[in-house]
Every structure is written in structure tokens, then in C-alpha cells.
Amino acid sequence: MTHTPLPITESPLSFASRLARWWRGGDAQPAKRVQFDRPLTPWVFLLPQLAVVVIFFYWPSVQAVTSSFYIEDPFGFGSTFVGLENYTEVLSNNEYRSTAGFTLFFGIVVTALSLGFGLLLAVKADKVIRGASAYKTVLISVYAIAPPVAALIGMMLFDMHIGPFTELAALFGYDLKVGVNYRDTVFALITIAVWKQIPYNFIFFLSGLQSVPVSVREAALIDARSGWRRFVDVTLPLLAPTAFFLLIINVTYALFDTFGIIDVIVKDKPANNPITLVYKVYLDGFKGNDIGSSSAQSVILMVLVTVLTVVQFRYLERRVHYG
Amino acid sequence: MAQITLKGVGKTYAGGVQAVSDVNLDVIDREFVVLVGPSGCGKSTLLRMVAGLEEISQGEIAIGPRVVNRLEPAERDIAMVFQNYALYPHMSVRENMAYGLKNRKTPKSEIEARVAQAARMLELGPYLDRKPRALSGGQRQRVAMGRAIVRQPAAFLFDEPLSNLDAKLRVSMRGEIRKLQRRLGTTSLYVTHDQLEAMTLADRLVVLNGGQIEQVGSPLEVYHAPASTFVAAFIGAPAMNLLDAYIEGGRVKLEGHDMGLVALPDGPITLGIRAEDLSIGTQGLPVTLDYVEELGANRIVHCFAGGQRLALIQPPEAPLSEHMTLRARPQALHLFDTTRGARLVAPATRIPEPVA
């Protein structure tokens, strides 16, 4: 093996001049650095996004995990390390368990109903030929309403004294008491949450339907007489990727994004109203000033979400056909 | 097996666009009829009306003894092969073929037998459990054919099934479709814009233009006796030479040159001559050479006769010069009305019998 002499340009340079060269990007190999000639430039571009992620995600997460091991004085004067006590207390608490039960129920019902109605409306709107854009605009416009605003509208409709839905129920002899009666409140919450989410699902299902090739639909038209069979055998499997995506989005929505709706509906009502786990985190932490317990709850939620996402991607996605 | 009858069939789209008007056609049992025409001539619309994918605005379509105007596509007992195959992407080849039968409550054993038979016929055996995306274009086309075959329908409808394939595959699939149709004896209606495909496949050709039938006939009839200048220009490659000429005292005059005798009154006419019917002689129509296209087996010679362009086919060894004189047998002259484009006299040539 022959001896290859080292490139002599490397050694005589002082540290300062090497640094200057590095800064100028003089060492840059043209093949590797196509976009930026200075090594810090890409980081400068990334900085705002990284800052957002770190400040609003990683930092609070770390804070939550740390404070979940402490019991904090309600007035913020000091905190005591208690290990896993916050967790054991939360998990053995009956109220927490019933809230978790309601959250599960709420999540399933809201996801199922908003996906179902979204799909139904999309299938029907897809068939409309005359005035199609008017229908679609009307259906989609609800999506532009923020959750708290949707909840406010909902609350007016369900108001115990002046709400038209209450009057409608009274017409059938039912005394609808949203905010007082547990079941009535559940009904109102689900109705508002579903109503708010339908347009989102509608948009995606509609675009999914429109991406099913016309000729495949026509082939199905020749192969199967029943419209229901065609829908189940051909349209639905081709919608599966869309549906899978929406499933994840809807579960997340039902569990987390309904916070605003729940807040508006139950905020100034008597106790014993249905709330979700996320709302309980807020309630215990900011209303109850029990930061330790609240942090422990949010860590539990974090773990749940991680598990849920992994399960969804690992097991559901496998059964989804991507054309 | 059945015959397809179209009576005064027309299609008017919303907005009053008349895509197809007053089409009368009988496709007899076991016949292979090709609808051919340029894009926008209404051939696909016509086929889709037979399939039930397009509503019939006027007239009546019958498949076998049944008028199908009001029947769903699935009830018409037809199978269709689409241009882009239209396979179900989430089903395996086997499921794709079986789906139509399953919905018709065919017994399982029967479905299996038919799928196996079709797979053997189309050499799809090794691919039965694959999804369409794992197949090549030609294989997908076979699956689409298989899906039609297993149904054993009264009629096959083909909507430009070969236009997504490359040229070589197209030629071989063309042959296979022809053989398959002969073997199964299923009445077939086939749409294409490719005149060569139409000529090679058809028992009978239907040339469409602007939503109306220009001519119906066997490929050779249509080739040798085109009913109009449109058909003359559309069928055959290179296209028939269509030249402005006139009749004077019972003789056809082209650029002042006497081309032959006809029994027609004096006046302007359009004279059609196929490129292969022109030959170079010692006397005749004087032309000047423009350019030559070499095809290997022969060459297409483009010339000017006066101000008019014409083409002739010559063997590659034939000598060419700047100025030549061309001749054509009097039987090879096609005369058309200049304004309407319609054929003026019956052909004197005897049309060769097709080989069965």
C-alpha cells in the first residue's frame, strides 16, 4: 500500500482562520451544500419554528412531568417531593375514573356520529348535480366557527329558559334541563361537538369520494345492481385511507379540542356536569390549584395519546388499502 | 348471445348539445361491430348509452328481445371493458373477476370454475392473487377482459380498450381480442378512434361523424367504396387523395388532364384516388415531386399536381424524378359531390371477398 500524503493546507492554519473559513463556508463541498453556503443559515431559518416547539411543547411537557412528582402549596410558596403519590391518588380516585368513563363514551359517540353524518352528507352531496356548490358551501361554512362560538350558539339553542330546543322538547312533554340534568347536558355536549365536526369530515369525505375514478364506479354499476352493495364493496374500501386519517383527527378532536365547548356549557352551571379528562386537568390545576395532581393527570393523558396513536398506526393502517 | 338493435337513437345533453342523432343499427348475433370516428363524433356516447351509463334521449335500444332504455346497467346483461381498465384497486385479480358473478348470486363452485377457465384462456393463472397495482398494463387489460368473459353476458362492450397500451402490445392484444371473440361468439360492440384497429377487428364497421352514421359496411366495403369524402379521408393510411376536379362532356378532368370516362353531367366534383391506385407511367397526369417518406417495404411519394397535393405508394426500387406522369385505372376513381361530400357513382371495382 502506498503512502498518500496528507493535504498540507490543513495544518498550518490557525484556529481563528479556520473558524473564519468555516463561517464563510469555504470548506463546503459543493456536492453536499447546494442550498446554503454558510453553515448557520439553515439553523437561522429553523429557529422560529424550533423556538415555538420548544417553548410551547417541550418545555411545558418537561414542567408537567416534573411537577407531577411534587405536591405544591396552593399559593405557590413551596413544593414537596412525593414521588408517585399524585399518580396513585388520581388513579384510585372514583371521580377520576367516572370522568375517564365519560371521556371514553364521549369520544366514541362523538367520533362515530361525526364520521357517520359527515360520510352520509358527503355521499348525498356527491350525487347532487344542480346547485352542488351552494349545498357544499352551506355544509362547509359551519367549519369556520370556532369551538367556543359553536358552544355559545349551542348554549343559546339549549338554554333552559329561552332555548328553542328546550321548547321543542317541551312540545313533546320533555323537560330539557341542560346544565342541571346530567343526561341532558351529555346530550347537548354531544350534539354541539358533533355538529361542529361534521363539516370537517364532510370536506374530506367529499374529496375522497371525488377521487374515486369514474370508470371504477361505472364498472361497479355494471357489476352490482344494488347501490348499497356498490357502496360497501367498492366506494367504502377506496375511502378507507381518508376514513383512517379522519378517525385519528376525530378521536383527537373529541378528546381534546372539545375543551372550548365543554367550558362554555358547564362553566357557570351547578356541579356534577359531565366533563372530559382534559377539562378535569384544567379544572383541578387552575380552579382547584392542585398543580401536582393536574400534572399527573396530563402526563397520564400524554401516555394515553401516545399509545392510542401507536395502536392506530400499527394496527389500523395495516388494514387500510392505499390505492 | 343476442343481437343489439338501435332505433332512432339520439343523445341531447343539457344545454341542447346534440351528441348523437338518429342512429339506426342492427348488430346481429355473434357479430363484431366497430364504431369508429374522430374524437367527439359520439361513438363513446353511443356505446355508453347501450351500456346504460348514459341516458338515452331519443329512440330505443334493445339487447336481445328486451328494450333496455329503462334498465339499470347491471340488468342489461352486458359486460364492458374500459379504456383505463377500471379494475377495483383493493381487490385481487380473482376478486375482480368474481365480483360481478357474486352479485348475481352465482353458486361459488360455478364462479370458481369460470374464473379458472378465464384465467387459463388469458394466461392469468399466476396472477390471480395479486392486486391490480402489481400488474403491468397488458396484464391489467387481460384482467379487464377476464372480468367481462366470466360473466358470459349477451354482449361485450369495448370502450377504446387498447389505447392505453404501447404500440407493440396493442397489436398483439388486438389479435387476441379478435380470436377470443370468434371463439366465444359473443356479440361485441367496440369503440375506437384508430382506423387500423377498426379495420382489423371488425366484421362490420360503423363510421361516425358529428353524431351521425356516415357509413356501415364490412371493412373492405368501406375501404373500397367510401360513402363520403369524410369516410374516404378517415379510413386508410395514407388518406385517400381528394382532389378538386370537374366533368366536361362525360370525361373527368383533373388540372386540365383527362382522367377517364364517366356518365355524369358536367360540373365540379371531388375526385378521390387511393395512394396505391396511382402508378408512374410514360404518359398521364403531370406532377412535380415534393418529398418522400420511406417506410421500408414501400415509400410514400408526395407530389403536386398543379396546385393540389397528392400521395402515391411506390415500391422502394422504383425510380423517381422531379417531373413524373401518373396514371390510375378508371375503376379506381372515386367521385364525390363537391358540396355534400357524398359518393356519386357506384364503384366499378369488385370488392374482394373477406377471408373468413
> pLDDT means per 10 residues in chain B (356 residues)?
88 88 91 92 91 90 90 90 91 91 90 90 88 89 91 92 87 89 91 91 92 92 92 90 89 85 86 91 88 91 91 89 88 89 67 58
Q: Which of B72, B87, B99 sits opposite A225 (nearest CB)?
A: B72
Q: Which domains does chain B have, with CATH numbers?
A: 4-228 (3.40.50.300), 238-336 (2.40.50.140)
Enclosing H/E stretch for B156: strand B155-159
**What residues of B are in contact with residue A238 (Cβ under 8 Å)?**
89-90
A130 and B CB contact within 8 Å: no
8-state DSSP, B39? T
Nearest 5°: CA angle at B36, between B31 and B37?
165
CATH topology of domain A100-275: MetI-like fold (1.10.3720)
CA distance to partner chain A, nearest, from residue B21 (Å): 24
CA distance to partner chain B, nearest, from residue A225 (Å): 5
Q: A53: pLDDT confidence band, cut at 50, 70 and 90?
A: very high
Of the residues A223, A226, A244, A319, the best mutation for testing chain B's interface (the one with the most B CB atoms within 10 Å of its CB) is: A223
**What residues of B are in contact with residue A225 (Cβ under 8 Å)?**
72, 74-75, 103
B78 and A CB contact within 8 Å: yes
C-alpha cell at A67: 411537577
Report the pLDDT value the prediction gives residue A111, as an integer from 0 to 100: 94
| Alpha-carbon distances of B192 from A72, B47, B137, B223, rounded to whole Å | 81, 11, 18, 17
The answer to whether B100 contacts A223, with C-beta atoms less than 8 Å apart, is: yes
Contact call for residues B100 and A224 (beta carbons, < 8 A): yes
Question: What is the mean predicted confidence (pLDDT) over A162-176?
Answer: 85
B207 and A CB contact within 8 Å: no
Among all chains, which residue has been given the C-alpha cell 399536381?
A: B305
Omega of the bond prior to B238 within 30 degrees of 0, cis? yes
Report the pLDDT value the prediction gives residue A2, as an integer from 0 to 100: 45
Report the pLDDT value the prediction gives residue A8, as an integer from 0 to 100: 44
Contact call for residues A185 and A193 (beta carbons, < 8 A): no
Q: A138: pLDDT confidence band, cut at 50, 70 and 90?
A: confident
Q: How far apart are CA B129 and CA B108, in angstroms?
A: 17
Q: Which of residues 232-251 of A touch B (CB under 8 A)?
A: 233-234, 237-238, 240
Percent of chain A beyond pLDDT 90?
17
Q: Which residue has the higher pLDDT, A75 or A113?
A: A113
Q: A269: pLDDT confidence band, cut at 50, 70 and 90?
A: confident
Question: What is the mean predicted confidence (pLDDT) over A70-76?
Answer: 77
Measured from the Cβ of residue B337, the count of other Cβ atoms closer than 10 Å reads: 15
Report the pLDDT value the prediction gives residue B169, as an integer from 0 to 100: 86
A203-260: pLDDT as tens digits: 899 889 988 888 999 999 998 888 889 999 999 988 988 888 888 889 888 888 888 8
Report the pLDDT value the prediction gives residue A56, as an integer from 0 to 100: 92
SS3 B309: strand
Q: Where are the domains of chain A?
A: 100-275
Instruction: State yes or no: pLDDT of A48 exceeds 90.
Output: yes
The answer to whether B90 contacts A225, with C-beta atoms less than 8 Å apart, is: no
Q: Which of B88, B89, B103 sits opposite A225 (nearest CB)?
A: B103
Q: Mean pLDDT for chain A?
A: 82
CA distance to partner chain B, nearest, from residue A177 (Å): 49
Alpha-carbon A77 to chain mean position: 35
B80 and A CB contact within 8 Å: yes
